[in-house]
């Protein structure tokens, strides 16, 4: 069963994402959401019963290096490139804000 996205559902999704949309954006995103869901419906029609699951289209080799224990950098050297520091720590601006 295919469900059509309308502007009311777009507003609800925007509310969940804490987005304020203009009327033009509502119209634009409603069409984009419809197109995305329509494409997903087309993908659901493809028979994938005999297709093995894959994570990459080409084979990959493990490129990790071997872990080796070694000494950490001295604190002074680590903090030498910090734009701001406070005591023995990096000082950064507050980035978390509570939305009311």
Axis-axis angle for helices 7-16, 23-44 (nearest 10): 100
pLDDT, averaged across the chain:
88
CATH classification at residue 15: 1.10.20
The pTM (predicted TM-score) of the whole model is 0.49
> What is the predicted pLDDT for the residue at 59?
78
Cβ 5 vs Cβ 29: under 8 Å: no
In a domain, 67, yes or no: no
Token pair belonging to 7: 């502007």
Banded model confidence at residue 2, pLDDT cuts 50, 70, 90: low
Tens of pLDDT, residues 48-96? 888 887 777 777 777 788 889 999 999 999 999 888 988 889 888 888 7
Q: Which residue has the tokens 């994402």?
A: 17
In a domain, 91, yes or no: no
In a domain, 31, yes or no: yes
Which of 75, 78, 27 minimizes the C-alpha distance to 11? 27
In a domain, 35, yes or no: yes
Domains contained in the chain, number: 1
> What is the predicted pLDDT for the residue at 71?
93
In a domain, 68, yes or no: no
Q: How many degrees, rounded to 5, is the angle at CA 95 between CA 89 and CA 100?
A: 140
pLDDT value at 1 more than 60: no
* Distance, CA of 91 to CA of 84 (rounded, Å): 5
Domain with 39, as residue range(s), is 7-44
Bin 82: left if φ > 0, else alpha if -120 < ψ < 50, else beta: beta
Tens of pLDDT, residues 11-42? 999 999 999 999 999 999 999 999 999 999 99
């Amino acid at each position: 069963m295919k469900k059509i996205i309308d502007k009311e559902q777009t507003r609800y999704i925007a509310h969940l994402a804490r987005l304020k949309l203009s009327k033009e954006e509502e119209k634009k995103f409603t069409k984009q959401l419809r197109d995305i869901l329509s494409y997903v419906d087309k993908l659901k029609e493809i028979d994938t019963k005999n297709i093995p699951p894959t994570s990459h289209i080409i084979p990959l080799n493990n490129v990790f290096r071997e872990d080796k224990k070694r000494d950490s950098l001295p604190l002074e050297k680590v903090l030498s490139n910090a734009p701001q520091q406070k005591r023995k720590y990096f000082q950064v601006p507050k980035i978390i804000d509570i939305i009311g």
